[in-house]
Structures are given as structure tokens and as C-alpha cells.
Amino acid sequence: MSGNRIYLFDTTLRDGEQSPGVSLNVEEKLEIAHQLARLGVDVIEAGFPIASPGDFAAVEAIARQVRGPIIAGLCRATRQDIDRTWEAIREAESPRIHTFLATSDIHLQYKLQKSREEVLSQAVEAVKYAKKYCSDVEFSAEDASRSDVDFLAQVIEKVIDAGATVVNLPDTVGYAVPEEFGRFIRTMYEKVPNIDKAILSVHCHDDLGMAVANSLAGIINGARQVECAVNGIGERAGNAALEEIIMALYTRRAFYEKEININYGELFRTSRLVSSLTGMRVQPNKAIVGKNAFAHESGIHQDGVLKERSTYEIMSPELIGLSRGSLVLGKHSGRHAFKEHMIELGYQLNEDELDLAFRAFKEIADKKKEVTNDDLVALVMDKVWSIPERFKLTYLHVSSGTNIVPTATVKLAIDDMTFEAAATGDGPVDAACRAVDKITDIYGRMLDYKLNAVSSGKDALGEVVSHIEINGKLYGGRGLSTDIIEASVKSYINAINKFYYEKQQHAGPA
């Protein structure tokens, strides 16, 4: 492999999933992992197996099913953590144990209450122990950017001697600035004599909005792996955005002179999938994947782009898989045309999935004249890639107004039976949710919800993404309808179904 090759380590499913309000189930994580494999990232960090049984199950499923990228599992530098991680990733095509320990004095003093000597020997022990299981071991020096450089250099040298194949230097708290962070990486090269025996990695957070800039400064100064997350999600202000790193290295390749191996055409779809499943919407002005990233508003700009695209565009939207075309399908489109169109959009549906999607498409096409690509993507998310619907909405009637108490009547299908309940509430959506509670005997609390018009026009599809608290845990709910109240209630029921599904899964052996 050429020395200019940069490895992309995606942590959407670990650090990204730690974003406040995000909680993905095993199926959702698998969908994202498969998509990351199609995109062609080098490493997928699938989760933190010891954190919870759900995390373990997701990492294990990804390790078993996803082929192509290295599958990494995170663990603290203890035997128990390493054992659990190995158990989860052992069946991966190429497994990696990723162990971490803080090296900054702040963390040593207040968090770990350990001396530098103790931390050094714990790090070495952990790597040696992990190495017994797995040839690929990554060591992260947590809070590296605020660590004493001489101590850090000593830790790095010793963990490489112990067998670490990748050494990650995170800017855990997002405090670094590019010039300084670049110098820091270069210093490590100078101070660690055996550094060429491992791949140096960076992992930057966006607290000051410099995660991508810091990562690129790291790359210029010798880092060969970059850790990032789709749409830049992650702890607090998030991680370096994967799509920004990729497109910076591509668009400015003459400057960086680095190679990456990625299917660019999967970028937009990956962003869309992560946004849909996590419920974290992408801001319109977000670089690369934001709704406005390729929109030209000013007449002068529009005129320029029409004459010659490069006047105002440095990247082509088609390259990242964003097609400019909107409508092709309508009410009279047949199954074959539908199938071809879905393949063009990148959805390789099997026959059962195609049946489901096509039926849902016909229902929507009956209600609205034009079915856009955005509608179709939302439909796949809603109907095909969803967990089993234990509770299914079959009837909804609400009455509300200025001087009446909002009341709702709801019918839900459970197996082959239909159950009905009525309730009052603070508003029509609340009333309907209370009626749902009466039937399901599961009591949720809708903390917030966002309405997203999937397409434009009076008959637009509305997508509601909500956060529902059930038994102290957060569940993301999604609902799709041309009616806003119905979409909201569906998102609530979707979260209830997720809760129910998780409960069923964990009822078996953990």
C-alpha cells in the first residue's frame, strides 16, 4: 500500500450513536453498517460492547454479517472490557480491538486517580492482553491533545512495542486549533522512535468547529488514519464529518496528495440514511450534504452555472450521488418501472421488500399527483427498513378546536384483532397518543418532535421524527403521512413498536 493512502475509520455507530437523543436498535445499526461497507470505509467502529447488551448484540451482528471493512469494537483498558469486545467481534472478517486509556494529567488526577507510571503499565498490559486475541489492536490515548508530550510519547512507544498496530491521538474535548494540532502530530513523529511500526490516527471533536480542519492538519503532518462520523454526529458538538474529510481530500487532491478508496456515489445516500435513522436532521447549509449545498440562489450565480458549471461549483453533485432530476414516477407507473427506478436510486430491494415498497408507493401515488425521489426514499425507510409492527394504526379520528377539549379515537391492529380506545389530551396528537397507551398498555412521553416536509406542494408527504421516553429510555420514532397529525401519531407508535421489539429480543438469553 502506498504511503499516501489515508484510512477512513468511521465511528458513526459508536461515537455518533453517543449523540444526545440518538438510540439505534440492532437492525438500524446493521443497515448503517451495510451502507458504510458499500461506501467503502476502511474501518467501521461498530460500538462499545460492554456498555449494554444492546450494544453487544449490534457489534456481534455487524461482525458476523458485514463484509469488507475492518470491524472495530471499543473497550477500556481492562481485561473484562477486552474479553467482552473480543467476544463481540471475533467472527468478523477482519476484527480490530480498539482499547483506550486517558493520558492527560487532568484525566489522570481527577478521573482515573492514577499516576503516570500506573497508566503507562496499564496501557501496555491492555495492548498485550488484546494482542493475545487479535493481531489488529488500536490504542487510543484519550485526551491526547492535552497530554504532556513527553509522557505521551513514552506511552506511544511502549504500546507500539507491546504490539499496537494503530495509535490514535484524539482531540477528545475539541480544544485544539489546526496549526497547533498539526505541530503536535509532527512532534509525535519526532519523539517516538518506533512510530513507523504503527499507523498514526487522529480523532477530532467539533467543539470549536475545527474538527475537520484539525483532522486535515493531522493528515498533512503524517496521520494516516482519520476517525470521523457521517454528518459529523457524535458526543456534544460531534466528530469530524466523514463526507467533508472525503470531499476535501478529493476536491483538493492536488494540494493534499493523498489517496482514499471510496465509492463517492454512495455519500449522499449514506448521509440521508444516517439522518433518517438517527432522527438528527442535517442543517440546510451543511457542507457537502446539506439541502442547500449545491443550490444557487443569486441570479448571477445561476446564470454562471448554466454557462459553465465551474464558475460557481467546485464539486459535482452527481459525484456524491445527488441526482438533479426530481419526478419520474406517478400513479400509472408499473412494478417494473418502479423497480428500475429504485435501483437507480441505489435501493437493491429483494422481492418481498419490493412488494412492500410498491404497495406503499401505490397508496401514496393515489393521494398525490407526483411522487418524488425524496418521497421514495422516505417510503423505503418507513415501510421496508423498519422493525416488525406489533401495533399498527388502522383508524384515527381527532376533534379539536378553540373551545373544545381535544379528543381522539384510535383503532390499532394487533395480530388479527382490532382494538379501539378514546382519550382526551392537551392537543390532538397528545389525545391520540393517550388513546394508543390505553390499548398497548405501554406509556410513553413525547419529548419533542420535528416535522419535515419530504416533498413540496399542497399534497406533500410529511415526515415526523420524534423522541419518545419509555421506561426512562429514549426511542426515536418516525411516521410518514400526507396528514401531519397522523404522521405524528405514527411516529409515536413506531417508537412504541421499537420498545416492544427490544423487550421481546431481550426476553431471550442476553
CB of 99 to Zn ion, least distance (A): 14
CB of 203 to Zn ion, least distance (A): 6
Total residues in contact with Zn ion, by rule CB under 5 A: 1
Report the distance separating Cα 260 and Cα 256, nearest Å.
11
CB of 223 to Zn ion, least distance (A): 15
* Cβ contact 341:377 at 8 Å: no
- Nearer to Zn ion (CB atom), residue 143 or residue 374: 143
Provide the 10 A C-beta neighbour count for residue 40.
15
Residues 6+ apart with CB under 8 A from 106: 143, 146
Residues paired with 74 in a beta bridge: 98
Of residues 292, 203, 314, the one with CA closest to residue 248: 314
Interface characters, 9-28, with Zn ion (x: CB under 5 A): ------x-------------
Report the distance separating Cα 44 and Cα 65, nearest Å.
13
CB of 170 to Zn ion, least distance (A): 6
The cell for 84 is 467482552
CB of 354 to Zn ion, least distance (A): 39
- Nearer to Zn ion (CB atom), residue 15 or residue 486: 15
- Nearer to Zn ion (CB atom), residue 15 or residue 136: 15
- Nearer to Zn ion (CB atom), residue 229 or residue 379: 229
CB of 175 to Zn ion, least distance (A): 13
Q: Which residue is nearest to Zn ion (CB)?
A: 15
CB of 230 to Zn ion, least distance (A): 14
CB of 140 to Zn ion, least distance (A): 9
Residues 6+ apart with CB under 8 A from 382: 360, 463, 478, 479, 480
| Chain centroid, CA 440 distance in Å | 30
Report the distance separating Cα 455 and Cα 473, nearest Å.
32
Binding status of residue 55 toward Zn ion by CB under 5 A? no
Residues 6+ apart with CB under 8 A from 399: 406, 407, 408, 428
- Nearer to Zn ion (CB atom), residue 9 or residue 499: 9
From 8-16, 115-123, 258-266, 409-417, span contacting Zn ion (CB under 5 A): 8-16
CB of 440 to Zn ion, least distance (A): 37
CB of 239 to Zn ion, least distance (A): 6
* Cβ contact 327:320 at 8 Å: no
- Nearer to Zn ion (CB atom), residue 100 or residue 129: 100
Sites for Zn ion among residues 447-506 (CB under 5 A): none
The cell for 356 is 412492500
Determine the straight-line distance between the first and last CA of the chain, rounded to whole angstroms.
41
Report the distance separating Cα 446 and Cα 475, nearest Å.
10
- Nearer to Zn ion (CB atom), residue 237 or residue 305: 237
The cell for 314 is 467546485
CB of 201 to Zn ion, least distance (A): 12
- Nearer to Zn ion (CB atom), residue 205 or residue 467: 205
- Nearer to Zn ion (CB atom), residue 12 or residue 373: 12
Q: Exposure of 138 by Cβ count < 10 A (0-12 exposed, 13-18 middle, 19+ buried)?
A: buried
- Nearer to Zn ion (CB atom), residue 145 or residue 497: 145
- Nearer to Zn ion (CB atom), residue 16 or residue 406: 16
One-letter-per-residue 3-state SS of 319-372: CCCCCCCCEEEECCCCHHHHHHHHHHHCCCCCHHHHHHHHHHHHHHHHHCCEEE
Q: Exposure of 257 by Cβ count < 10 A (0-12 exposed, 13-18 middle, 19+ buried)?
A: exposed
Report the distance separating Cα 167 and Cα 157, nearest Å.
10
- Nearer to Zn ion (CB atom), residue 15 or residue 17: 15
* Cβ contact 198:165 at 8 Å: yes
CB of 1 to Zn ion, least distance (A): 26
Q: Exposure of 256 by Cβ count < 10 A (0-12 exposed, 13-18 middle, 19+ buried)?
A: middle
| Interface residues toward Zn ion, by CB under 5 A | 15
